[in-house]
Amino acid sequence: MSLPAFQTEWEETDNEYQQLQETDKVYKQKLEELTNLQAACSATITKQRKSMKDLRSSLNSCAQQTCRDEKDAKLMEDIQTQIDHKENVFVDMEAYLPKSNGLYLKLVLGNVNVTLLSDQAKFAYKEEYEKFKLYMTMILMFLAITCLFFINFRVTDEIFNFLLVWYYCTLTIRESILRSNGSRIKGWWVIQHYVSTVLSGVMLTWPEGQTYQRFRSQFLAFHIYQNFVQFLQYYYQSGCLYRLRALGERNQMDLTVEGFQSWMWRGLSFLLPFLFFGHLCHLYISATLFRMARDEDCKEWQVYMLALGFFVLFLGNFLTTLRVVHQKLTQKLEEVARKLAQKLD
């Protein structure tokens, strides 16, 4: 390269460097402004929440007064509705603001900020979570089939059990991050992954022996069925969420979860029997383990722990699914009765 050409290229590179410095300066200014805006929004939301709490208390005091006309009652009802709406808006606002981690994330990650500040980043993380679940379901199903039908070595069993522990631990962490970013998964569908983590850890520590070998085939067969059902659930729930989001009825951060929730009601006739059969499998495994625990040859504490854990999973999954089904059937019957009453009128 000749000296003039080299000098020209150097000047172009130096100009780009100068522009980069200016861009970096603007970026840092905007970042500081963003931090200040986040702090201001968080402080205002906290203040507004306190005001809303005081207003709600005052409104309840007014509602207890016996002397009020229909106009006053309508006014108080409107104010109550607006307070509830604003509290929901605060939740949506906080989904885009840094917040303190919950106890579990503090123990695992410390005080690292896990809030994603754009819809694109939130949705990308959610999609990665869904793919992670799908891929791990396929891997675990393959390993369970291999251990049950082809390889009967303790080493491969330990690899499978260790992978289960890692999988459920990772799920709990990822779900906690998703909930910090606006996902509405809650209740039992969160707790069951913590229970499953503990059970997988107990299974990992169960020493080799006659009792372990008696339970091994049943345990692996159950996981094959469970992963098959989760595979069906993934595609069914993904289709449900896609339709509901297209209609604007669901939040973009809603997840496909291991269980049955109210938003999955549409076209469920084929999936519900698989779910209930899986719940009954939890009960059968728990009963089997309790029977094994009563044997004189059984000395392992893991048998009692697993029996109790599988029974907890049965109760949580079965009762939660049954409650949602009852709730949706009741709503459907009420809707039919209302339409019938409108026709009669």
- SS3 for 30-84 is HHHHHHHHHHHHHHHHHHHHHHHHHHHHHHHHHHCCCCCCHHHHHHHHHHHHHHH
Q: What is the pLDDT of residue 79?
A: 86
User: Average pLDDT of the chain?
Assistant: 85
Neighbour-count burial of 5, counting CB atoms closer than 10 A to its CB (0-12 exposed, 13-18 middle, 19+ buried): exposed
Six-digit token pair at 332?
């459907």
**Mean pLDDT of the 235-263 span:** 57
Q: pLDDT band at 205, cuts 50/70/90?
A: very high
Q: What is the percent of the chain with per-residue pLDDT over 90, rounded to a whole number?
A: 42
pLDDT for 276-297, tens place per residue?
999 999 999 999 999 999 988 8
Whether 251 shows a pLDDT value over 60: the answer reads no
pLDDT for 114-142, tens place per residue?
888 888 888 888 888 888 999 999 999 99
pLDDT for 174-191, tens place per residue?
999 888 887 777 788 889
Q: pLDDT band at 232, cuts 50/70/90?
A: confident
Kindly report which listed range (66-75, 93-102, 141-150, 311-320) carries the lowest average pLDDT score: 66-75
Chain Cα centroid distance, residue 167 = 14
Residue 114 vs residues 11, 81, 95, 307: alpha-carbon distances, Å: 41, 32, 11, 36
Which of the pair, 253 or 311, is modelled with greater confidence?
311
Q: pLDDT band at 244, cuts 50/70/90?
A: low
Whether 274 shows a pLDDT value over 80: the answer reads yes
Which of the pair, 203 or 187, is modelled with greater confidence?
203
pLDDT for 43-53, tens place per residue?
999 999 999 88
**Mean pLDDT of the 80-95 span:** 86
Q: pLDDT band at 254, cuts 50/70/90?
A: low
Whether 331 shows a pLDDT value over 80: the answer reads no
Q: What is the pLDDT of residue 263?
A: 45
**Mean pLDDT of the 220-230 span:** 94
Q: What is the pTM of this model?
A: 0.79
Q: pLDDT band at 256, cuts 50/70/90?
A: low
Whether 265 shows a pLDDT value over 60: the answer reads no
Q: What is the pLDDT of residue 338?
A: 80
Whether 67 shows a pLDDT value over 60: the answer reads no
Cα separation, 158 vs 151, in Å, equals 12
The identity of residue 151, as a single letter, is I
Residue boundaries of the structural domains of the chain: 9-94, 121-338
Whether 224 shows a pLDDT value over 70: the answer reads yes
Whether 57 shows a pLDDT value over 50: the answer reads yes
Which of the pair, 170 or 251, is modelled with greater confidence?
170
Residue closest to 76 by CA, chosen among 86, 62, 87, 66:
62
* Alpha helices in the chain, H assignment, sequence order: 3-63, 70-94, 103-109, 119-149, 154-180, 188-205, 210-246, 272-293, 301-344
Which of the pair, 270 or 110, is modelled with greater confidence?
110
**Mean pLDDT of the 247-259 span:** 53
